[in-house]
Amino acid sequence: MEQIDQDRRSLFGFTSGEGALVAMGAIAASTVIPLTEAVAQQAESLTDIDLFNFALNLEYLETDFYLRGLGMTVDGVFGTSFGAPVKGGRKVQFSSPAREGMIKNIAGNEVAHIRFVRAITGSQASQRPPIDMDAGFAAVAAAAGLSDFDPFASEMDFFLGGMLFEDVGVSVLKGSARKLKSLALRESAAGLLGSEGYHMGAIRSVIYKMGDTWRSRAAAISEFRDRLDGPQDLDQPPVKIGNMANITPANENGIALGRTPEHALNIIYGNPARGIMAGGFFPEGFNGRIRST
Amino acid sequence: MDYVSLDPSRRQALRMMSASLMGAGLVGCADLIPQGIGLALLPNPLTDPAVYNFALNLEYLEAEYYRRGVYGQGLPGELIGPNPGAVLGGRRVQFRTPWIAEMFAEITEDETNHVRFIRQTISSSPLIEINRPVIDLQTSFRVLGSQAGLGPNFDPFADEESFILGAFIFEDVGVTAYAGGADLLADDDSIEAAAGILAIEGYHAGAIRATIAEMGPRMIAAADGIARARGAAESPDNQRPNRTTVNTVAGPKEQLISAGEVFPGEVVISPTDPQGRSFPRPPQDVLNIVFMNPDKDARRGGFFPDGVKGVVRHARNANHGRTA
């Protein structure tokens, strides 16, 4: 037990201000995360609306992904178009009603997220930018070394596709919690974070349950994300470590890993460089003020 | 809408209300470190450490439950305080399914780490009670089992399935408690850490719900019974419109695994309000559930027969000004 604790600890360290919290033995000063000048400029004047618009771009992607797997689309469900077209995706042949039911629940949550975040951002809501799932997933498959990866090909491939996006959603919401100024929006962001955590707990537990084949495919996706989002280890695969599963991507404090929006964009654009404005799933980039890696 | 226009003065108003509600029972308020720019002169008992102290009670409960089930023994001495309360019940579960045993070993480690992290974080703050409260893992489950339709002798340590159902009781509550605490915290680091714990509790709860869903109709029915019993423990006064909802329609406080609302055939692995958010539960709602008593004046019972430790300890006094 102790040995396993040590292993896990050496794999996954502190993030952001937790070290400060613990070291001081009290909740007091905040730590400053060093940022490059360019990123600092993007971050400097960010409003809560900017952060929610960033989340909205991600929600557009996630929601159409889940709905398309169920044979629906965002435009079809809402009866209107929120912007540019979405390319790719098709109905998945589910083999288990329970797993299809889980995806339906997640899709329903994501539909609600779009409606809610658009209500929060109101007239400033970002329109949906062009989304290309074919190009995005092809790039992931190539970069992750999963040449046969097509998330719409089977139930379990679809679970992998969901994991690709939503672990990122959790980490970026966690990393953004401190940036929001409005109390009510903090509570809302916490609620969104909670539901995305539920989704990933369900999906990663099923992947883990399915054994080595699917664990190793998920590990390839986790490694793909980790190669893109900077030198810090911000990702963990759902594999066995010692006598334990690794369904929760947690550090030694049992706290979820956090990502900046810029690191999330590195993954979504499929490019580890700074200053990138488009690529991967978003051929013309995100809409809104947070769009550069 | 108020969820967009709320400004820092709202935080001040909320926290002042909390102070007036809870201040009467406190001594030494002048020693408290004021939190927040607008509160420089206000001795405020609902400091960030006080909020974390409340959460620590829940983490003790979860950690003791999982450690006893997975390893047959509770938290080590260095993590329970100099004068810890006793823990009633709990024993090692005979797991049949390796991946389920491995999942619970991981959850056990996460919850142990939460206890350690929170203790380290708040240990030197004023008015903190670091000792483990008295925890009942025996009578509590029997009573809850009866209410949930699982019979009068429900024992979550009896087998793998029962242990999963016991976990189901806690994890949803943990998520909603952290979501409800999100707007009570002032310091950026403590907000981010709470968000990270919230996320992990969400992963746990989603994994538990998915595991139940895949085990079939009997397990789903048992879990739904637990969700109903949990909902019944909340004060009727707390079944109110959520102040931050767009349409001000009250969402159900508990969602059954079998009762999705958007698409036919949904299996609810993520219980949310109509906005797709995990429910925020204010501390008084959480206390009603863990005391298993909907009375607004409840101070103890259920999993905490002697009550919880810290400033936030009575269902009534835990109200921090959130009204419909």
Helices marked H in A2-95 — which ranges? 2-11, 18-24, 37-44, 48-69, 74-78
Cβ separation of B195 and A209 shorter than 8 Å? Answer: no
Q: Give a yes or no: residue A225 inside a domain.
A: yes
Q: A32: pLDDT confidence band, cut at 50, 70 and 90?
A: very low
Residue A273 confidence (pLDDT): 92
Cβ separation of A30 and B261 shorter than 8 Å? Answer: no
Cβ separation of A105 and B200 shorter than 8 Å? Answer: no
Rounded Cα distance, B217 and B228, in Å: 16
Q: Which residues of B touch A16 (CB under 8 A)?
A: 189, 192
Q: What percent of chain B is modeled with pLDDT above 70?
A: 77
Q: Give a yes or no: residue A275 inside a domain.
A: no
Q: Which two tokens stand for residue A16?
A: 């952001």
Query: At a CB cut-off of 8 Å and minimum separation 6, what does B236 contact?
Result: B294
Structural domain total, chain A:
1
Q: Which residues of A touch B263 (CB under 8 A)?
A: 70, 104-105, 107-108
Query: At a CB cut-off of 8 Å and minimum separation 6, what does A267 contact?
Result: A168, A225, A228, A229
Residue B21 confidence (pLDDT): 36
Cβ separation of A25 and B123 shorter than 8 Å? Answer: yes
Q: Which residues of B touch A174 (CB under 8 A)?
A: 192, 195-196, 199
Number of CB atoms found within 10 A of residue B33's CB: 14
Residue A22 confidence (pLDDT): 59
Is B15's pLDDT higher than 80?
A: no
H or E segment and range at residue B88:
strand B87-88
Is A37's pLDDT higher than 60?
A: no
**Who among A5, A97, A205 is closest to B109 (CB)?**
A5
Residue B322 confidence (pLDDT): 38
Shortest distance between the Cα of A46 and any Cα of chain B, in A, equals 15
Nearest residue in chain A measured CA to CA from B277: A191
Higher pLDDT, B324 or B43: B43
The verdict on A43 touching B (C-beta cutoff 8 Å) is no
Q: A246: pLDDT confidence band, cut at 50, 70 and 90?
A: very high
**Who among B105, B117, B208 is closest to A253 (CB)?**
B117
Cβ separation of A193 and B199 shorter than 8 Å? Answer: yes
Chosen for mutation from B200, B209, B281 (greatest number of chain A CBs closer than 10 Å) is B200
Is B320's pLDDT higher than 50?
A: no
Q: What's at B136, amino acid-wise?
A: D
Shortest distance between the Cα of B305 and any Cα of chain A, in A, equals 27
Domain span at A45: 2-269
Query: At a CB cut-off of 8 Å and minimum separation 6, what does A117 contact?
Result: A52, A55, A56, A59, A125, A192
Q: From residue A289, give the alpha-carbon distance in Å to each of A1, A43, A48, B9, B302.
A: 47, 9, 11, 27, 50
Number of CB atoms found within 10 A of residue B96's CB: 10
Residue B44 confidence (pLDDT): 55
Number of CB atoms found within 10 A of residue B236's CB: 9
Cβ separation of B178 and A255 shorter than 8 Å? Answer: no
Q: Which residues of A touch B322 (CB under 8 A)?
A: none
Shortest distance between the Cα of A243 and any Cα of chain B, in A, equals 6
Q: Give a yes or no: residue A157 inside a domain.
A: yes
What count of CB pairs under 8 Å joins A to B?
339
Contact A198, A281 (CB under 8 A): no
Query: At a CB cut-off of 8 Å and minimum separation 6, what does A100 contact?
Result: A70, A94, A155, B265
Interfacial A residues in 68-87 facing B (CB < 8 Å): 70
Rounded Cα distance, B99 and B114, in Å: 23
What is the average pLDDT score of chain B?
A: 81
Number of CB atoms found within 10 A of residue B225's CB: 18
Q: Give a yes or no: residue A279 inside a domain.
A: no
Residue A178 confidence (pLDDT): 87
Q: Give a yes or no: residue A9 inside a domain.
A: yes
The verdict on A123 touching B (C-beta cutoff 8 Å) is no
Higher pLDDT, B156 or A39: B156
Interfacial A residues in 205-244 facing B (CB < 8 Å): 205-206, 208-209, 211, 240, 243-244
Over residues A112-121, mean pLDDT: 96
Cβ separation of B200 and A183 shorter than 8 Å? Answer: no
Contact B211, B103 (CB under 8 A): yes
Q: Give a yes or no: residue A108 inside a domain.
A: yes
User: Length of chain B in residues, anyone?
Assistant: 324
Higher pLDDT, B53 or B30: B53
Is A243's pLDDT higher than 70?
A: yes
Q: A229: pLDDT confidence band, cut at 50, 70 and 90?
A: confident
Cβ separation of A101 and B260 shorter than 8 Å? Answer: yes
Residue B211 confidence (pLDDT): 98
Question: Could you report the per-residue pLDDT of B133-191, keeping only the tens digit for each?
Answer: 999 999 999 999 999 999 999 999 999 999 999 999 988 899 989 988 887 888 899 99
Chosen for mutation from B17, B97, B125, B198 (greatest number of chain A CBs closer than 10 Å) is B198
Chosen for mutation from B56, B109, B208 (greatest number of chain A CBs closer than 10 Å) is B109
Cβ separation of B263 and A244 shorter than 8 Å? Answer: no
Rounded Cα distance, A264 and A268, in Å: 6
What is the average pLDDT score of chain A?
A: 87
Is B54's pLDDT higher than 80?
A: yes
**Who among A178, A197, A243 is closest to B202 (CB)?**
A197
Shortest distance between the Cα of B229 and any Cα of chain A, in A, equals 21
- The three-class DSSP label of residue B248 is coil
Q: Using alpha carbons only, what angle is made at residue A159 by residues A230 and B275, rounded to the nearest 5 degrees?
A: 85
Partners of residue B88 on adjacent β-strands: B136
Rounded Cα distance, A90 and A73, in Å: 10
Q: From residue B102, give the alpha-carbon distance in Å to each of A135, A204, A205, A238, B205.
A: 37, 13, 11, 11, 16
Half-sphere exposure of A264 (CA within 13 A, CB side): 26
Residue A79 confidence (pLDDT): 96
Q: Give a yes or no: residue A281 inside a domain.
A: no
The verdict on A185 touching B (C-beta cutoff 8 Å) is yes
Cβ separation of A197 and B244 shorter than 8 Å? Answer: no
Shortest distance between the Cα of A48 and any Cα of chain B, in A, equals 9
Q: What percent of chain B is modeled with pLDDT above 90?
A: 58
Look up the ipTM and state it: 0.88
**Who among B7, B120, B202 is closest to A25 (CB)?**
B120
Over residues A129-143, mean pLDDT: 95
Q: Which two tokens stand for residue A280?
A: 């991967």
Q: From residue B101, give the alpha-carbon distance in Å to each of A189, B70, B93.
A: 32, 8, 9
Note the pTM of the prediction, 2 decimals: 0.86
Cβ separation of B178 and A194 shorter than 8 Å? Answer: yes
Residue B201 confidence (pLDDT): 95
Residue B56 confidence (pLDDT): 97
Residue B304 confidence (pLDDT): 98
Cβ separation of B106 and A246 shorter than 8 Å? Answer: yes
Over residues A176-202, mean pLDDT: 91
Residue B62 confidence (pLDDT): 98
Shortest distance between the Cα of B76 and any Cα of chain A, in A, equals 12
Q: Give a yes or no: residue A289 inside a domain.
A: no
Residue B222 confidence (pLDDT): 96
Q: Which of A215, A244, A216, A258 is nearest to A7 (CA)?
A: A244
Lowest mean pLDDT: which of A94-108, B61-75, B306-320? B306-320
Q: What is the DSSP letter of B87?
A: E
Query: At a CB cut-off of 8 Å and minimum separation 6, what does B212 contact?
Result: B164, B165, B168, B219, B220, B223, B257
Question: Could you report the per-residue pLDDT of B211-265, keeping only the tens digit for each?
Answer: 999 999 999 999 999 988 888 887 665 544 443 322 223 334 567 888 777 899 9
Is A187's pLDDT higher than 90?
A: no
Residue B180 confidence (pLDDT): 85
Is A254's pLDDT higher than 80?
A: yes
Q: A230: pLDDT confidence band, cut at 50, 70 and 90?
A: confident
Rounded Cα distance, A218 and A238, in Å: 7
Residue A13 confidence (pLDDT): 42
